[in-house]
Structure 1
Amino acid sequence: MNAIAAAIRIISGINIAVGRVFAWLSLGIVVVCFTVVVQRYVFSVSYLWMQDLYIWLNGAMFTAVAGFALQRDDHVRVDIFYRPASLRWKAMIDLVGVCVFLLPFVIVVFVYALPFVERSWGLREGSSNVGGMPGLFVLKSFVLVFAVLVGLQGVAMALRSILVLGGRQDLLPVRLRYEGAAHVPGEDPA
């Protein structure tokens, strides 16, 4: 059980680190978008590569932080039944959801995206806009990053569910527990 808890910590730590780094792209998106608008409407100048840039930053950020959002439970969920449920019921719902829906989904995304990304890398694909940014193949690679990070976090969710169903949620730090879980006396809440 300690190995399961360690795996959950490692996977969640990876997604937390990636999420915190790539969340900063939101600031870059705002700055680039603001610059494009000012250039266009104040100076009557437009650079296609800058228009590509804020769209590409947006795509990279949202695909890279998806696992982080899943780890934080920020995804849309119908909470009418889930929120008031017991910890064991939440664990069962998550385990079934991950195994039946999430993991098959990310496997399909990865399998179908891989040839698409490989072809893009082989062509060193750039923007379809004349004067646009080079390196579209790097952005397309984020589809695979998305599948891997969300898939890993799904595995961590399933493992967390197994710990809860086995009565060993106490092995997890408080931040990785189910919402509403009791605090274990003498334990560091971080």
Structure 2
Amino acid sequence: MQKLFQWVRWFCMGLATVVFLGQLAMVLMRYLLGIGFLEVQDAVNYAFASLVALSVIVAFDAEKHVRVDVFRQNWSDLFNRRIDMLGYLVLAIPVFALMAWTAFPLVRSSWVILEGSPETGGLPGLFVVKTCLLVLPVLVLLFAVRRLVTLWRRPVS
């Protein structure tokens, strides 16, 4: 499973590169050459939306998600482990399960019509970007379950 999260991290780096280079190209084309391409703008928007969604699991995997470390440093390892387990059980798993449940009809209908850009002449494939609304909660749920098992099995130090 670690390979999956590593692949997502690399994919996010690629998306960030697309966002940066695409935005740079749009600005240079528009202000230096006086031309613009809706396709480039859509590509940047699609890459940014996917990056925002998928970078959540990258933050979780790197232990860079929101937490109050000021308190954690004074608590014992056992107490921190219990807090983490409680957070996964009470917050992460229910919230992301609900997100997957509510996003499924949206993503399904987007795939049924093969939804494209809302802009006339824009890129097709918005349905693939919307799939990130399902990929994100599934990855977080997998991560949370894996972390719960790891925390449960880890001996108390």
User: How far did 1:132 drift?
Assistant: 1.2
Q: 1:134 and 2:127 equivalent?
A: no
Q: Which runs of 5+ in 1 are unaligned?
A: 1-10, 170-190
Higher RCO (C-alpha 8 Å, min separation 6): 1
Q: 1:120 and 2:113 equivalent?
A: no
Q: How far apart are the structure 2 equivalents of 1:83 and 1:31?
A: 40
The residue that corresponds to 1:18 in the other structure is 8
User: How far did 1:34 drift?
Assistant: 0.1
Tell me the SS of whatever aligns to 1:84. Answer: coil
Matches within 5 A, 1:1-190: 11-164=1-154, 167=155
Contact 1:66–1:149 (Cα < 8 Å) also in 2: no
Q: How far apart are the structure 2 equivalents of 1:148 and 1:108?
A: 11
User: How far did 1:168 drift?
Assistant: 6.8
Q: Which runs of 5+ in 2 are unaligned?
A: none
Q: How far apart are the structure 1 equivalents of 2:145 and 2:75?
A: 22
Q: Give, as a single letter, the amino acid of the residue that structure 1 aligns with 2:20.
A: V
User: How far did 1:21 drift?
Assistant: 3.0
Q: Give, as a single letter, the amino acid of the residue that structure 2 aligns with 1:18.
A: V
> Structure 1 stretch 104-113 or stretch 56-65: which is displaced more?
56-65
Identity %: 28
User: How far did 1:17 drift?
Assistant: 2.4
Tell me the SS of whatever aligns to 1:93. Answer: helix
Task: Pick closer, same or farther for the CA change 1:83–1:51 going to 2, 3 Å.
Answer: farther
Tell me the SS of whatever aligns to 1:65. Answer: helix
Higher helix share: 2
1:150-182 per-residue CA deviation (whole Å, 9 max, x = no partner) reads 111111221122023xx178xxxxxxxxxxxxx
Tell me the SS of whatever aligns to 1:38. Answer: helix
Q: May I ask how many residue pairs the two structures share in their alignment?
A: 157
Instruction: Flag as ranges the 4+ runs of structure 1 deviating above 6 A.
Output: none
Q: How far apart are the structure 1 equivalents of 2:10 and 2:79?
A: 30
Aligned-CA RMSD value: 1.6
